[in-house]
Homo-oligomer: A and B are copies of this chain.
């Protein structure tokens, strides 16, 4: 397989995966490009590489920075901003998990906690089923939250060795 073909396919695949998981396809593609770039890239280079507009490039780079997956790199004597991606894949995964947990899991936890306070005086079948499901979710999401916190504090080797060892 030729390099440019491989590169294009990698960018495509990463973008598709992102969009299937609710992440803007272009953002994922920008991330892909930076992941395989041996050097920091300017917004200019990124927009050319992906054939996207300046505005689009800018916004998606900012988003990646907010996700803590990309950071600015200033080259002395150059007024442009350059960008590089975190290259350690376990670190990438850790940051994505951390961010999604914060953005999506925590609000759900909050709602579930509110929904536990539903009045329990009348006990129709509907209300019983509802309460039971909320309690199940509360327990489950709580455990998940705790597990994810633990996982996030482990390094890759420790993590996988734990997983493999204990489920034999």
The chain A residues found within 8 Å of chain B, CB to CB, are 1-3, 6-7, 9-10, 13, 17, 19-22, 35-39, 87-90, 93, 103-104, 107-108, 111, 114-115, 117-119, 125-130, 133-134, 136-137, 140, 143, 146-147, 150-151, 153-154, 156, 160, 162-164, 166-167
Contact = CB atoms under 8 A, between A and B. Distances in A.
Contacts of A153: 167
A160 B143 CA distance: 7
Contacts of A166: 162, 166
Given A21-B21, A167-B154, A140 B93 contact: yes
Given A17-B104, A104-B20, A162-B167, A114 B150 contact: no
Contact of A115 (B10, B21, B167): B10
Given A17-B104, A104-B17, A130-B36, A9 B115 contact: yes
